[in-house]
């Protein structure tokens, strides 16, 4: 006997569906739920086997489907026939494999009784699936150790330089501790692009509405702003950054500014709250190339050396490029000296040096502009050389 919960939110298919299910000898309809919250609470009792629900039911998302599966309740979604293709896509994204069109309800009892859940709906595979990412679809993660080595300055400068070359570029602020891309570029919107992306990813709508989480700052550059307050990292579900990068890279190059910490957080194993550092680790694992930023002073180089050992475990095989920031003659070290210091810690795809050009950075910060918009400078020329190496 299969025990069923139903939530239809007043849809026209509810009454005929209940008649079909109630008249089957092997099916028992346990409850008609008012909404998704009522459904999840009923599923938690552990008495149901299947949930029949409308795919357009408010509140139905990845978290809700995960909750059902946690209590061994298999979801069967009823999809409007006129929106079948779009429904297949959304169902796949939130984890529902069994679908029934609302004009084919006679198949609903068989779908409910199915002993084995079918594989998730297969989506059309892109023509270039499996091919290396093209020049307009690379993810570049900018990371560095604690101590403010200039991650955001490098990320924003590199994104602006790529956009100046007419490459469609998306700059993402995923720093869970102190994201400042919006402030650096003079973006005053209070809506967080990252939090909006988290909500859309949970509901399976991120690919369709990616444009709504971006703020254009030029004809070829847009920004997904970060957290408005550091304590709101708890609202970003695990997997959000990876989903965002996967969708964004289809539109062009993605430069993502990350946090500094890669430490494991044992506390997250005792509940459903995501780990704070998961945002950074997820970005590094999804990146095609990781730019590790460090400063040229003794403390910065020491941190950089340790960071190169640490980051190796989180790059997923991606190339690692080191950017030594704030080079200045007063340190008494040449580029060759520093190359010898950092070259032995990991295999690098490149080593680059940026000058300590405080006037260029201040000019950009005060005006809320990118380095490109602020005019020629030694720092801009060095960032341009970095971009040359990356886009070859």
What confidence tens digit (pLDDT) does each residue in 75-84 have?
999 999 888 8
Confidence of residue 273 (pLDDT cuts 50, 70, 90): low
C-alpha–C-alpha distance, residues 355 and 372, integer Å: 16
C-alpha–C-alpha distance, residues 324 and 341, integer Å: 12
Q: Is the pLDDT of residue 13 over 70?
A: yes
Burial of 271 (0-12, 13-18, 19+ CB in 10 A): exposed
CB atoms within 10 A of CB 206: 23
| Dihedral-angle region of residue 202 (phi above 0 means left; psi in -120 to 50 means alpha; beta otherwise) | alpha
- Mean pLDDT, rounded, of the chain: 87
Phi, psi of 140 (to 5 degrees): -115, 110
Residue 343 is inside which H or E element, if any? none
Of residues 237 and 281, which shows the higher confidence score? 281
Percent pLDDT > 90 in the chain is 60
Helical segments of the chain, H only: 14-22, 36-43, 62-70, 84-94, 108-113, 151-164, 181-184, 193-203, 240-248, 278-286, 298-311, 335-342, 358-367, 378-391
Amino acid 291: pLDDT: 97
Q: Is the pLDDT of residue 310 over 60?
A: yes
Average pLDDT over residues 150-168: 95
Which structural domains are found in the chain, ordered by start? Answer: 2-113 (3.40.50.2300), 139-391 (3.40.50.300)
Is the model's pTM score more than 0.75?
A: no
Of residues 100 and 132, which shows the higher confidence score? 100
Amino acid 16: pLDDT: 93
Q: Is the pLDDT of residue 119 over 70?
A: no
Are residues 29 and 6 in contact, defined by beta-carbon separation less than 8 angstroms? yes
Average pLDDT over residues 296-324: 91
Average pLDDT over residues 262-272: 63
Amino acid 153: pLDDT: 96
Amino acid 76: pLDDT: 94
Picking from 120-124, 232-236, 244-248, which range would have the lowest pLDDT averaged per residue? 120-124
């Amino acid at each position: 006997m299969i025990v069923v919960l139903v939530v239809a939110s007043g849809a026209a298919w509810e009454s005929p569906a209940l008649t079909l299910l109630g008249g089957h000898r092997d099916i028992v309809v346990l409850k008609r739920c008012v909404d998704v919250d009522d459904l999840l609470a009923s599923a938690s009792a552990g008495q149901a086997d299947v949930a029949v629900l409308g795919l357009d039911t408010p509140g139905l998302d990845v978290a809700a489907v995960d909750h059902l599966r946690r209590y061994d309740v298999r979801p069967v979604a009823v999809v409007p026939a006129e929106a079948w293709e779009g429904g297949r896509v959304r169902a796949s994204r939130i984890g529902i494999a069994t679908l029934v069109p609302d004009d084919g309800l006679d198949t609903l009892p068989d779908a409910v009784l199915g002993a084995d859940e079918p594989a998730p709906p297969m989506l059309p595979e892109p023509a270039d699936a499996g091919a290396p990412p093209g020049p307009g679809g690379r993810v570049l993660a900018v990371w560095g150790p604690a101590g403010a080595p200039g991650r955001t300055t490098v990320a924003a400068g590199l994104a602006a330089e790529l956009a100046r070359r007419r490459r469609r570029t998306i700059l993402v602020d995923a720093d869970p501790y102190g994201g400042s891309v919006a402030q650096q570029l003079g973006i005053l919107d209070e809506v967080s692009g990252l939090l909006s992306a988290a909500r859309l990813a949970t509901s399976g709508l991120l690919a369709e509405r990616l444009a709504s989480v971006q703020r254009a700052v030029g004809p070829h550059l847009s920004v997904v702003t970060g957290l408005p307050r550091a304590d709101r990292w708890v609202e970003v579900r695990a997997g959000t950054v990876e989903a965002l990068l996967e969708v964004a890279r289809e539109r062009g190059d993605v430069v993502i500014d990350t946090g500094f910490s890669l430490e494991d957080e044992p506390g997250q194993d005792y509940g459903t709250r995501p780990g704070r550092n998961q945002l950074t680790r997820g970005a590094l694992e999804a990146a095609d190339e990781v730019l590790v930023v460090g400063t040229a002073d003794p403390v910065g180089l020491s941190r950089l050396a340790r960071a190169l050992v640490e980051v190796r475990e989180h790059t997923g095989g991606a190339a690692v490029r080191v950017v030594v920031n704030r080079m200045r003659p007063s340190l008494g070290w040449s580029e060759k000296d520093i190359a010898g210091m950092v070259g032995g810690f990991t295999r690098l795809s490149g080593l680059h040096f940026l000058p300590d050009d405080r006037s260029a950075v201040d000019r950009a910060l005060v005006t809320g502009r990118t380095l490109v918009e602020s005019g020629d400078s030694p720092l801009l020329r060095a960032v341009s050389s970095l971009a040359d190496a990356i886009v070859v």
